Amino acid sequence: MIKKILIANRGEIACRVMKTCRKLGIATVAVYSEADIKSLHVEAADESVCIGPAAARESYLSIPKIIAAAKKTGADAIHPGYGFLSENAGFAEAVEKAGLIFIGPPASAILAMGGKSESKILMEKAKVPLVPGYHGEKQDEKFLAGEASIIGFPVLIKASAGGGGKGMRIVESAKEFAEALTGAQREAKSSFGNEKVLIEKYLVNPRHVEIQVFADSHGNAVYLFERDCSVQRRHQKVMEEAPAPGLSPATREKMGVAAVAAAQAISYVGAGTVEFLLDAKENFYFMEMNTRLQVEHPVTEMITGLDLVEWQIKVAEGAKLPLAQKDLKINGHAFEVRLYAEDPAKDFLPGAGQIQFLRFPMESDCVRVDTGVREAPYGEGDVISIHYDPMIAKIISWGRDRETALRNMAEALDETHIAGPKSNIGFLRTLVRHPAFKAGKINTHFIQDHHHALLPEKIAPSPEALVLACLGLLKQRERQEEVSPDPWNDLSAWRIGGNDTDRFTFRDETGEYTLTVSGSTVTLPDGKTVQAHFEASGYDMGFFARIDGKEYDAIVQQSGAHLNVMYGGHQAELTYADPLHAGEGDEEVSGKLTAPMPGKVVAVRVAIGDKVKKSQPLIIVEAMKMEHTITAPADGIIEAINANVGDQVNEKLELIRFKV
Ligand code: MV4
């Protein structure tokens, strides 16, 4: 029996594994890098070991450091999570060699599925359907061009060692073949150090449907049905669901049987996923096998009622699978969305930085949140680090049918609020309301095909958002003046300088908006008026508001001149030109100094605790071949430094915390 598990991972997955360990009474050991000292996964573990600097290569990817941490703490097993070392055969081997249990497949199974061409040869033998194509050793241009003609155009050239779409070329006709081959080989060589390619029939609008399989060490294997992960951008999943919408029971069974055959062909043990492409006629073709637990496993848990991490641990202990195929049933429908720190408007550019405000939806039988960060601002606000994946959380919904599950997801997203790093929350809210998505009309080109509906042009802030911004600022002023509030304040109580009217000017990319507040009458930029009132709510940035009789539960978060207005599924980002602090610029004198643009830190001129003079250079960031010097805004003290020389930093990432 396993008594103590070391989790060789961080964040959301580390927290997820610990949840099951707690349930089973298994002790947990977290490992962490210097960037993760204050992370939730460290706090949640029974014990923790620091394994090195922020850079993953020197911490979460260091096999010797992780094994040493397991030895030191007396763990008897290691769970690799996903990403990092989870599909590294050398790691699985090293863990076993150290006399520890690897909670994952045998190294031989990881290796068997490691190469695209090699795995396809094995799958062909096991009678798992493959896309018509050539995946052999011969690589000369004439031969491959001949194969392409036999397959029939369009064909797809793929890097044999590849993944994630790198080294992929669609070829429409024979005359384009030679040039496309040269390009694919060059990209394969530079990305994977190996120019070997394979040729396949190009499927025009396939769906990505994957089967969850489980095998034990006694030769038993089952499938836990499928997940549809077609909604992706840049080969990154954004939304997953189970079961696949519209899939016939007959195809489901055929795919399940094929996936189990794939697992058995490589003597698989543990949790694995067999990925297929599915065409419009429900033909399915093997793509690859992921020899680990996957990010999207919760949707399978929601429709089967099982705990896949619990199964992984039991199988690793040598137990038989808890259930046989005939005992497994699909119950209802589940969705998962991945909340990322990224900017959809900038082609999903990954973001980073300190979370200023974060509220998750209430969890229930129908809503689950898997995350590695804490809600804010109860604490200091966790940091989404530039060193790791920018996923903030996964939000998972369940319903008795697809429509109900999707409605539950839409509501859960409306209850989710985040400020600080830019996030894809607005994009996700739009996605779950898209008519084609609602109708289950999805394939791997969904985001591209519906780009305009999903990523609309920036529109002017709504009147409600502007009024709520005014109320938020007035509420803040009230707190600063420490006036004890009556419920439903008369706004005129917070007038400044004896004027009859307060004037607020906000800006965003769409323009400038000025509102005036006089008593409870707010005049909008277009001259119309509304009646507005507010009442403080439980936490600092939140309040209840009534605008022309309609009620709002709002949050206004402010950092410097930057305002985030969040209310019932809406978010507006505004710049507030504060007349009392005119000329101070965007950054507060005390507070955070942030990167002016994405770039590389080339010098750090100060240390924590240093006393500095106004205008003294603190950090130099190189971007677009120019150096940008960040200087002290006033005489003060350096409280924290969040960057090292050589770090790649994103715009608005907090580099230095500064105190006057
Ligand atoms: C394909 C394909 C169409 N036809 N193979 C993309 C990543 C790589 N793992 C496999 N990929 C694809 N292979 C054939 N023969 C279309 C894709 C593809 C894709 C697959 C799954 C999820 C998203 C995708 C987005 C674009 C292309």
Rg (CA), the chain: 27
Residue 318 Cβ inside 6 Å of ligand 1? The answer reads: no
**Closest Cα partner for 32 from 53, 51, 57?**
51
Asked if 372 and 12 touch (Cβ cutoff 8 Å), the reply is yes
Asked if 244 and 227 touch (Cβ cutoff 8 Å), the reply is yes
Question: What is the full DSSP assignment across 519-534?
Answer: TTEEE-TTS-EEEEEE
Mind listing the domains of the chain with CATH numbers? 4-103 (3.40.50.20), 107-130+204-331 (3.30.470.20), 132-201 (3.30.1490.20), 332-457 (3.30.470.20), 463-581 (3.30.700), 592-659 (2.40.50.100)
Residue 169 Cβ inside 6 Å of ligand 1? The answer reads: no
**Closest Cα partner for 597 from 620, 615, 577?**
620
Identify the sign of the CA torsion 389, 393, 399, 405. negative
Q: What are phi and psi of 505, to 5 degrees?
A: -115, 125
Residue 206 Cβ inside 6 Å of ligand 1? The answer reads: yes
Token pair 């060490």 is at which residue? Answer: 217
292 is catalytic: yes
Identify the sign of the CA torsion 42, 47, 49, 50. positive
What does the block give as tokens for 422? 């830019």
Cα 165 to ligand 1 centre (Å): 7
**Closest Cα partner for 557 from 415, 421, 413?**
421
Cα 203 to ligand 1 centre (Å): 8
Cα 399 to ligand 1 centre (Å): 29
440 three-state secondary structure: coil
Measured N-to-C along each axis, helices 425-433 and 402-414 cross at an angle, to the nearest 10 degrees, of 150
- Residues 215 and 576: their CA atoms lie apart, in Å, by 58
Residue 446 Cβ inside 6 Å of ligand 1? The answer reads: no
Q: Which of 227, 292, 368, 374 is catalytic?
A: 292
230 three-state secondary structure: strand
pLDDT tens for 377-426 read 876 789 999 899 999 999 999 999 999 999 999 999 999 999 999 999 99
Mean pLDDT of 190-201: 92
**What are the C-alpha distances in Å from 225 to residues 244, 251, 332?**
9, 11, 12
Which of 191, 232, 235, 449, when mutated, tests ligand 1's pocket best, judged by the most ligand atoms within 8 Å of its CB? Answer: 235
What does the block give as tokens for 265? 């062909």
Cα 440 to ligand 1 centre (Å): 19
Q: According to the model, what pLDDT value does residue 274 have?
A: 98
Residue nearest atom 7 of ligand 1, based on CA coordinates: 165
pLDDT tens for 128-151 read 999 999 999 999 999 999 999 999
- Residues 459 and 511: their CA atoms lie apart, in Å, by 10
The one-character DSSP state at 321 is P
Q: According to the model, what pLDDT value does residue 633 have?
A: 79
Residue 202 Cβ inside 6 Å of ligand 1? The answer reads: yes
Q: According to the model, what pLDDT value does residue 620 have?
A: 83
What does the block give as tokens for 201? 């029939």
Q: According to the model, what pLDDT value does residue 412 have?
A: 98
- Strand-pair category, 4-7 with 77-79: parallel
Mean pLDDT of 462-475: 95
pLDDT tens for 36-72 read 999 999 999 999 999 999 999 999 999 999 999 999 9
Cα 262 to ligand 1 centre (Å): 19
Cα 208 to ligand 1 centre (Å): 8
Looking from the CA of residue 285, the nearest atom of ligand 1 is 15
- Comparing 585 with 381, the larger pLDDT belongs to 381
Looking from the CA of residue 200, the nearest atom of ligand 1 is 15
Query: Residue 588: is its pLDDT beyond 60?
Result: no
Question: What's the angle, vertex CA 145, arms to CA 143 and CA 146, rounded to 5?
Answer: 65
Which of 287, 290, 294, 296, when mutated, tests ligand 1's pocket best, judged by the most ligand atoms within 8 Å of its CB? Answer: 287
Mean pLDDT of 451-480: 91
Which of 277, 288, 447, when mutated, tests ligand 1's pocket best, judged by the most ligand atoms within 8 Å of its CB? Answer: 277
What does the block give as tokens for 580? 């009392």
587 three-state secondary structure: coil
Token pair 């094995």 is at which residue? Answer: 122
Beta strands in 550-590 (DSSP E): 550-559, 562-567, 570-576
**Closest Cα partner for 629 from 644, 619, 640?**
619
Cα 236 to ligand 1 centre (Å): 12
List Cβ neighbours of 550 (8 Å cut-off, separation of 6 or more). none
Residue 429 Cβ inside 6 Å of ligand 1? The answer reads: no
Residue 209 Cβ inside 6 Å of ligand 1? The answer reads: no
Query: Residue 598: is its pLDDT beyond 80?
Result: no
Residue nearest atom 27 of ligand 1, based on CA coordinates: 444
Query: Residue 607: is its pLDDT beyond 50?
Result: yes
Looking from the CA of residue 164, the nearest atom of ligand 1 is 7
* Confidence bin at 258 (pLDDT 50/70/90): very high
Mean pLDDT of 188-204: 92
* Confidence bin at 602 (pLDDT 50/70/90): confident
- Residues 254 and 244: their CA atoms lie apart, in Å, by 14
pLDDT tens for 310-333 read 999 999 999 999 999 999 999 999
Token pair 């109900």 is at which residue? Answer: 404
Q: Among 149-153, 343-347, 456-460, name the most confident range.
A: 149-153
Which of 113, 116, 157, 158, when mutated, tests ligand 1's pocket best, judged by the most ligand atoms within 8 Å of its CB? Answer: 158
Q: How far is CA 342 from the centre of its chain?
A: 9
Asked if 535 and 544 touch (Cβ cutoff 8 Å), the reply is yes
pLDDT tens for 285-307 read 999 999 999 999 999 999 999 99
Q: What is the mean pLDDT of the chain?
A: 91
Cα 456 to ligand 1 centre (Å): 26
